[in-house]
């Protein structure tokens, strides 16, 4: 260091001095506190997650590849008993029945099962998260005492029979009926035609003894809409269907073949009046219907809202699967070498290639954002179901948040698994490395517990409703001023005035433009503006639909469906970005905060880059600033590169969770062995001369 201080001004730095400076710069770069970050990622229910991960690491619960679907089903059925024996699935049930009334902790632990076997996670979800929860949340104390102990102990394996062949996400239109007969005080459950068969029902093909069946409740000639009924399906001794009940096996699926999905149908099956799960709607002995919720629409959404935990858990499970995939792919990319681009003798590590970094780091950034957003969703879920914050508005917010985040995280998991598979080349396609298997199992996550596109449409409708609510009670003067403001804003954007102002502010400097884009408030403004602009434009176009006929109103809405779904997706992405930004404030270690800020910026700028055409066409970015988005992303990739392994190590998944042969260090051993062999061969002087080298030497001699 004395050399650097005493060096005369103006003289060039010597190589040794430059090396010293480079080492000092490397030593000065921020470091990630892996343990501290890992603790933050575990979240509020850290201890529950640790317990669940300990369980998921056990070989007894691991998926065995290559089993027939019959063998896989039998294995998973046995694994459910293992979960019961290890008290892993009862956290959400009442303390009086052996649970712990811990709704958030229940989901936090349950979603970790995906790393053991997605079939196990989903079959457990069917038994306790859907079948058991429906009895708990839609039934009353009498139902709890009668059925929950058997459901919890697995004495009563059961089904959640909602979806029909002819109606998937459109639950309100299901065709199965439950008609009340006051003469016998029974409901008659009936499937009127083939499209009304219950379909894709977990536990229906083999294991299910009972079911919560969703049907249109009819009494005294009035249809009161969809309600839930407890129906016995099979004789517990013979396992044969009871009279009037039939079904089929769905057979082999594209994934999740450890679950016995099947179809159910009912022919005038009679059940006691008391089998109606009547928390939100009751029928007296004489057939009189009553409900604490007067509005049929609100009653329907309240009943379905109690079952939102399925979407919440899928959101978390998808994030967990993305973490496992990235852990394997990034670890492998730090060891696998390919092509000697910068050296005649040393091949490049895959993760040093810019394109490889962009493929993996952008998805790593999104996974962090999705993880932080999931933690907020989980907190909201726990607040509602624990009763801490359980107003009608809280429940609507929870439903909207789950409908916004579940599509993004499940699509992201499929995209991440595929990209990680490709980034690992042919090795990624081997079943032993799990990418292909996990992707096949998670494929259906995009369409169950609500089709992703349909869920985003629900979010879009909420955005429109909130937008309209802002102006429902304002006077004409305020509204007029708002319209003028909108018109002025549109004029600025469309005439390019904002672009001109931005260009002047940038003063032609790429560096200044990049600084503006990496600024937190600038990213927030751009992401927020896109949501608001699309919603405002759609709301203006749809104004007056309430006065149209149903047919014309539906047609007008359909013409703007694409924009509305775009707005909902942009809104969900903004929620993820905000969750990431809020999480940064809780990071105590300065080095970790710096690295995570780079990762958050990569997430935000990747969203802007993805929609760059919109920002340019709508005047939100100048061409000058738009050009800098990709350049700054590339600089962030370089900054994140030294910390990539730390960032995936912080996920907290070990070899027993990842279970990918390429992520065990075996590749490093192979590469080190190959390099040592080639070095020894060159040092021996016995190595053959490469033809290209010989030709180069010959050409040199001629010159």
- Helices and strands in the chain, H and E counts: 29, 11
**Cα–Cα distance for residue pair 324/653, rounded to 1 Å:** 7
CATH of the domain at 164: 2.40.110.10
What one-character DSSP code corresponds to residue 349?
A: B
Tell me if residue 187 falls in helix, strand or coil: strand
Last residue of a domain, one of 261, 282, 307: 307
Q: Is the dihedral of CA 622, 627, 630, 636 positive or negative?
A: negative
Cα 293–Cα 297–Cα 299 angle in degrees, nearest 5: 35
The reply to whether 499 and 518 lie within a common domain is yes
Q: Two tokens at 112?
A: 């970790």
pLDDT of residue 454: 93
Does a structural domain hold residue 28?
no
Does a structural domain hold residue 354?
yes
pLDDT of residue 480: 40
Q: Two tokens at 93?
A: 């049930």
pLDDT of residue 392: 86
Query: 173: closest CA among 279, 273, 264, 300?
Result: 300
Does a structural domain hold residue 72?
yes
pLDDT of residue 703: 60
The reply to whether 295 and 318 lie within a common domain is no
The reply to whether 387 and 430 lie within a common domain is yes
For residue 223, the surrounding DSSP H or E stretch is strand 222-232
pLDDT of residue 338: 81
Give the strand order in the sheet containing 262-266: 198-201, 262-266, 245-249
Q: Is the dihedral of CA 550, 556, 561, 566 positive or negative?
A: negative
Confirm if 248 and 263 have CB atoms less than 8 A apart: yes
Does a structural domain hold residue 33?
no
pLDDT of residue 398: 94
Q: Two tokens at 688?
A: 């053959």
Question: What are the beta bridge partners of residue 196?
Answer: none
The reply to whether 275 and 320 lie within a common domain is no
The reply to whether 90 and 212 lie within a common domain is yes
Question: What are the beta bridge partners of residue 213?
Answer: 161, 229
**pLDDT tens track for 373-396:** 999 999 999 999 999 998 888 999
pLDDT of residue 21: 46
pLDDT of residue 514: 52
First-to-last alpha carbon distance for the chain, in angstroms, is 45
The reply to whether 490 and 638 lie within a common domain is yes
Does a structural domain hold residue 23?
no
**Cα–Cα distance for residue pair 406/88, rounded to 1 Å:** 24
**Cα–Cα distance for residue pair 369/303, rounded to 1 Å:** 31
pLDDT of residue 484: 41
**pLDDT tens track for 315-338:** 999 999 999 999 999 999 998 888
Does a structural domain hold residue 41?
no
Question: What are the beta bridge partners of residue 223?
Answer: 218
**Cα–Cα distance for residue pair 300/295, rounded to 1 Å:** 9
CATH of the domain at 429: 1.20.140.10
CB count, 10 Å around CB of 498?
18
Does a structural domain hold residue 692?
yes
Q: How many domains does the chain have?
A: 3
Confirm if 155 and 207 have CB atoms less than 8 A apart: no
Q: Which residues contact 460 (CB under 8 A, 6 or more apart)?
A: 538, 564, 565, 567, 568
The reply to whether 587 and 606 lie within a common domain is yes
Q: Is 225 left (phi over 0), alpha (psi -120 to 50) or beta?
A: left
**Cα–Cα distance for residue pair 495/509, rounded to 1 Å:** 23
The reply to whether 477 and 527 lie within a common domain is yes
pLDDT of residue 342: 65
Confirm if 188 and 213 have CB atoms less than 8 A apart: no
pLDDT of residue 178: 98
Q: Which residues in the chain land under pLDDT 50?
A: 1-25, 473-492, 494-504, 507-511
What one-character DSSP code corresponds to residue 167?
A: B
**Which domain, by its residues, includes 571?**
314-649
The reply to whether 495 and 529 lie within a common domain is yes
Spell out the SS3 assignment of 455-467: HHHHHHHHHHHHH
Last residue of a domain, one of 604, 625, 649: 649
**Cα–Cα distance for residue pair 62/551, rounded to 1 Å:** 52
Query: 304: closest CA among 191, 407, 450, 121?
Result: 450
Q: Is 251 left (phi over 0), alpha (psi -120 to 50) or beta?
A: left
Q: Which residues contact 149 (CB under 8 A, 6 or more apart)?
A: 97, 98, 155
The reply to whether 204 and 339 lie within a common domain is no
The reply to whether 217 and 330 lie within a common domain is no
Q: Two tokens at 558?
A: 């359909």
Last residue of a domain, one of 290, 307, 324: 307
Q: How far does Cα 78 stand from its chain's mean position?
A: 28
pLDDT of residue 482: 38
Does a structural domain hold residue 336?
yes
Cβ neighbourhood burial of 318 (10 Å; 0-12, 13-18, 19+): buried
The reply to whether 441 and 519 lie within a common domain is yes
**Cα–Cα distance for residue pair 99/93, rounded to 1 Å:** 4
Confirm if 574 and 535 have CB atoms less than 8 A apart: no
């Amino acid at each position: 260091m004395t050399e650097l201080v005493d060096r005369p001004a103006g003289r060039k730095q010597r190589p040794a001095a430059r090396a010293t400076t480079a080492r000092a710069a490397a030593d000065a770069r921020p470091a990630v506190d892996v343990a501290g970050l890992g603790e933050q990622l575990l979240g509020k229910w850290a201890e529950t997650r640790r317990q669940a991960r300990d369980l998921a690491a056990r070989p007894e619960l691991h998926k065995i590849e290559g089993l027939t679907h019959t063998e896989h089903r039998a294995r998973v059925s046995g694994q459910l008993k293992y979960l019961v024996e290890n008290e892993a699935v009862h956290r959400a049930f009442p303390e009086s029945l052996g649970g712990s009334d811990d709704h958030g902790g229940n989901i936090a632990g349950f979603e970790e099962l995906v790393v053991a076997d997605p079939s196990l996670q989903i079959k457990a979800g069917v038994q306790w998260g859907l079948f058991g929860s429906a009895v708990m949340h839609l039934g009353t104390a009498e139902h709890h005492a009668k059925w929950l102990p058997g459901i919890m102990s697995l004495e009563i394996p059961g089904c959640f029979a909602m979806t029909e062949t002819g109606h998937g996400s459109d639950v309100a239109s299901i065709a199965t009926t439950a008609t009340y007969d006051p003469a016998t005080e029974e409901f008659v459950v009936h499937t009127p035609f083939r499209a009304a068969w219950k379909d894709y029902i977990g536990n229906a093909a083999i294991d299910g003894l009972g079911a919560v069946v969703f049907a249109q409740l009819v009494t005294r000639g009035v249809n009161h809409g969809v309600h839930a009924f407890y129906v016995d399906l099979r004789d517990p001794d013979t396992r044969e269907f009871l009279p009037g009940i039939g079904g089929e096996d769905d057979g082999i699926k594209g994934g999740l073949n450890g679950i016995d999905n099947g179809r159910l149908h009912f022919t005038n099956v009679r059940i006691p009046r008391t089998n109606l799960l009547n928390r939100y709607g009751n029928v007296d002995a004489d057939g009189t219907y009553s409900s604490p919720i007067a509005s049929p629409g609100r009653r329907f959404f309240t009943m379905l809202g109690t079952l939102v935990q399925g979407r919440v858990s899928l959101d978390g499970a998808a994030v967990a699967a993305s973490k496992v995939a990235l852990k394997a792919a990034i670890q492998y990319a730090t060891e696998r070498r390919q092509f000697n681009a910068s050296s005649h003798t040393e091949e490049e590590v895959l993760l040093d290639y810019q394109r490889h970094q962009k493929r993996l780091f952008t998805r790593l950034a999104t996974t962090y954002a999705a993880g932080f957003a999931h933690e907020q969703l989980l907190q909201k879920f726990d607040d509602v179901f624990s009763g801490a914050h359980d107003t009608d508005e809280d429940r609507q917010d929870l439903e909207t948040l789950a409908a916004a985040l579940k599509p993004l995280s499940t699509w992201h998991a499929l995209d991440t698994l595929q990209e990680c598979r490709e980034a690992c080349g042919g090795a990624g396609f081997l079943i032993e490395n799990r990418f292909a298997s996990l992707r096949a199992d998670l494929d259906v996550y995009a369409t169950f517990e609500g089709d992703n596109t349909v869920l985003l449409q629900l979010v879009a409708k909420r955005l429109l409703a909130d937008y309209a609510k802002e102006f429902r009670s304002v006077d004409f003067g305020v509204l007029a001023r708002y319209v003028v403001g909108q018109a002025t804003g549109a004029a600025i954007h469309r005439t390019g005035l904002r672009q001109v102002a931005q260009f002047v502010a940038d003063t032609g400097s790429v560096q200044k433009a990049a600084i503006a884009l990496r600024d937190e408030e600038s990213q927030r403004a751009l992401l927020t503006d896109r949501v608001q602009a699309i919603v405002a434009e759609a709301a203006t176009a749809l104004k007056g639909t309430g006065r149209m006929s149903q047919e014309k109103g539906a047609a007008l809405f359909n013409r703007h469906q694409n924009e509305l779904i775009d707005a909902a997706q942009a809104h969900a992405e903004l929620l993820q970005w905000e969750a990431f930004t809020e999480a940064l404030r809780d990071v105590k270690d300065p080095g970790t905060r710096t690295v995570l800020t780079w990762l958050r910026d990569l997430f935000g700028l990747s969203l802007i880059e993805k929609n760059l055409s919109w920002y340019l066409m709508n005047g939100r970015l100048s061409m000058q600033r738009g050009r800098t988005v990709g350049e700054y992303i590339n600089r962030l990739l370089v900054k994140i590169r030294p910390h990539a392994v730390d960032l995936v190590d912080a996920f907290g998944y070990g070899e027993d969770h990842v279970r990918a042969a390429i992520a065990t260090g075996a590749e490093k051993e192979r590469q080190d062995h190959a390099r040592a062999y080639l070095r020894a061969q060159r040092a021996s002087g016995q190595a053959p001369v490469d033809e290209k080298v010989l030709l180069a030497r010959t050409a040199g001699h001629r010159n």
